[in-house]
């Protein structure tokens, strides 16, 4: 019996003139697909706001911190628990703890001075962004304080390499379990991502436009000196507008392995559905206010494999009612793929807005995002529990 539990999310979302995700020169990112230029938003650009949405959906101690400044974070955790420990002692102990765990530290940076510390200190960093859970930092801080009670704290830390390594490997944060972790120094700390996020692309051809702008100096504006008249600044901002196809999936079985419990996994997939659907990259958002929500969200649980439906848009949408044409194509593609490859979902939820998306009712009755996310959580929890029982 096939016991896989795969979550698929397909989204159609219209964004107005905007520059959600720009390249090096500042132009909106793009791609050639189906032989024509498309608007593109990178997967990384959407993962970041998805993670930020987690903060409103999950407890802070279940989330991760991605930073090079690991010594600084652990130093602060140690001193939060025992303010009597000096900054220097806590920092030294934090650095030794990470080294004992097999992490290489280098590139010292200036550390913020304490009010009672006249000397500017430096703290080591990792040479890459390290993704660790908040609970892991708490456990490392507790361990460090215990080691501090020994006659030789450094020796106590060195002697406990296995304990430290276990803390670094266990009790992964939700976002670490979903998006994974790569550690070049110590590959056994790597975590294979349970989710995949595609680059969002427009379902139609998109050409970049440019907005010419001027800025007026308020003081100069009131000046009687005509020679000083005119704009204080001129420039251009590139933008586009598009109906995007967005896609992501989660392997709930792998996420269960990463997080260690069925309950944590079920909560994580519920949060992921909500956060991925409602998040949006913040590039140039103050200029364009592109705070839209999806026109259509289709969430499916499959027991076969993930299915990205982007092929529905290989031939670009050309009609004026892009959302309707894109919805019709998406639904047809889903039905054709499922018939041809036996990938029919175990369950599907449809969240939609407006009559243009009505065709999606062929996949499942329309519901709210809250109801859909709760349904996903319940079904994932049920299926994973049954899998555990059968094993």
User: Quick one: what percent of the chain has pLDDT higher than 90?
Assistant: 76
Q: Summarize the confidence of residues 204-223 as an average pLDDT.
A: 79
Domain count, the chain: 2
Q: Is residue 363 located within the same domain as residue 344?
A: yes
Q: Is 224 among the domain residues?
A: no
Residue-wise pLDDT for 100-148, tens only, equals 999 999 866 555 555 555 455 678 899 889 999 999 999 999 999 999 8
The pLDDT value given to residue 114 = 55
CB 39 within 8 Å of CB 28: yes
Q: Work out the pLDDT band at 391, boundaries 50, 70, 90.
A: low
Q: Is 219 among the domain residues?
A: no
Q: Is residue 47 located within the same domain as residue 105?
A: no
Q: Is 299 among the domain residues?
A: yes
- Number of CB atoms found within 10 A of residue 134's CB: 18
The pLDDT value given to residue 121 = 65
Instruction: Please enumerate in sequence order all residues whose Cβ is within 8 A of that of 387, keeping only pairs 6 or more positions apart, or say none.
Output: 3, 5, 253
Q: Is residue 47 located within the same domain as residue 73?
A: no
Helix, strand or coil, per DSSP, at residue 311: helix
CA-CA distance, 142 to 133, in Å (whole number)? Answer: 14
The pLDDT value given to residue 25 = 83
Q: Which residue has the tokens 């000397």?
A: 119
Helix, strand or coil, per DSSP, at residue 280: coil
Domain that holds residue 282: 6-63+193-206+245-390
Q: Is 93 among the domain residues?
A: yes
Q: Is 376 among the domain residues?
A: yes
The pLDDT value given to residue 118 = 46
Q: Is 226 among the domain residues?
A: no
Q: Is 213 among the domain residues?
A: no
The pLDDT value given to residue 116 = 53
Q: Is residue 361 located within the same domain as residue 383?
A: yes
Q: Is residue 287 located within the same domain as residue 372?
A: yes
Q: Work out the pLDDT band at 222, boundaries 50, 70, 90.
A: low
Q: Is residue 17 located within the same domain as residue 118?
A: no
Q: Is residue 353 located within the same domain as residue 275?
A: yes
Q: Is residue 128 located within the same domain as residue 275?
A: no
Q: Is residue 256 located within the same domain as residue 331?
A: yes
Q: Where is pLDDT greater, at 381 or 128?
A: 381
Structure tokens at 376: 């996903």
Q: Is 216 among the domain residues?
A: no
| Statement: residue 225 has pLDDT above 70 | no
The pLDDT value given to residue 229 = 60
Residue-wise pLDDT for 268-293, tens only, equals 999 999 999 999 999 989 999 999 99
Q: Summarize the confidence of residues 80-88 as an average pLDDT.
A: 93
Q: Is residue 263 located within the same domain as residue 138?
A: no
The pLDDT value given to residue 112 = 55
Q: Is residue 73 located within the same domain as residue 33?
A: no
Q: Is residue 79 located within the same domain as residue 18?
A: no
pTM: 0.90
Q: Summarize the confidence of residues 137-164 as an average pLDDT.
A: 92
DSSP 358: G
What is the 3-class SS of 17-74, one letter each residue? EECCCECCCCCECEEEECCEEEEEECHHHHHHHHHHHHHHHCCHHHCEEEECCHHHHH
The pLDDT value given to residue 2 = 55
CA-CA distance, 30 to 148, in Å (whole number)? Answer: 54
Q: Work out the pLDDT band at 98, boundaries 50, 70, 90.
A: very high
The pLDDT value given to residue 341 = 97
CA-CA distance, 223 to 254, in Å (whole number)? Answer: 67
Structure tokens at 342: 């036996």
Q: Summarize the confidence of residues 236-259 as an average pLDDT.
A: 95
């Amino acid at each position: 019996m096939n016991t896989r539990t795969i979550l698929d999310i397909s989204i159609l979302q219209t964004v107005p003139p905007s520059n959600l995700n720009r390249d090096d020169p500042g132009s909106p990112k793009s791609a050639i697909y189906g032989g024509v230029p498309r608007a593109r938003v990178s997967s990384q650009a959407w993962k970041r706001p998805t993670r930020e949405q987690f903060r409103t959906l999950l407890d802070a101690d279940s989330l991760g911190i991605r930073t090079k400044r690991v010594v600084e974070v652990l130093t602060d955790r140690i001193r939060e628990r025992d303010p009597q420990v000096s900054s220097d002692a806590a920092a030294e102990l934090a650095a030794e703890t990470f080294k004992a765990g097999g992490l290489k530290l280098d590139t010292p940076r200036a550390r913020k001075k304490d009010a009672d510390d006249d000397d500017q200190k430096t703290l080591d960093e990792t040479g890459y962004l390290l993704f660790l859970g908040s609970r892991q930092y708490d456990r490392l801080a507790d361990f460090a304080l215990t080691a501090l009670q020994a006659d030789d704290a450094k020796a106590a830390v060195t002697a406990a390499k296995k304990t430290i390594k276990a803390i670094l490997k266990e009790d992964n944060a939700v976002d670490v379990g979903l998006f994974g972790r790569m550690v070049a120094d110590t590959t056994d700390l790597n975590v294979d991502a349970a989710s995949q996020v595609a680059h969002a692309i427009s379902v139609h051809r998109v050409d970049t436009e440019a907005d010419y702008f001027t800025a007026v100096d308020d003081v100069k504006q009131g000046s009687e000196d005509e020679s000083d008249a005119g704009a204080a600044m001129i420039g251009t901002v590139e933008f586009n507008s598009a109906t995007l196809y967005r896609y992501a999936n989660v392997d709930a079985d792998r996420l269960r392995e990463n997080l260690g419990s069925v309950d944590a996994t079920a909560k994580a997939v519920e949060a992921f559905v909500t956060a991925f659907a409602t998040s949006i990259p913040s590039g140039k958002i103050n200029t364009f206010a592109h705070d839209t929500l999806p026109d259509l969200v289709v969430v499916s649980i499959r027991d076969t494999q993930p299915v990205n439906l982007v092929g529905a848009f290989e031939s670009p949408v050309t009609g004026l009612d892009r959302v309707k044409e894109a919805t019709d194509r998406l639904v047809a593609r889903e039905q054709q793929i499922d018939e041809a490859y036996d990938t029919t979902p175990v369950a599907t939820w449809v969240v939609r807005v407006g009559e243009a998306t009505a065709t999606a009712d062929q996949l499942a009755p329309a519901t709210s995002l809250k109801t859909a996310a709760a349904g996903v959580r319940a079904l994932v929890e049920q299926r994973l529990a049954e899998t555990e029982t059968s094993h």
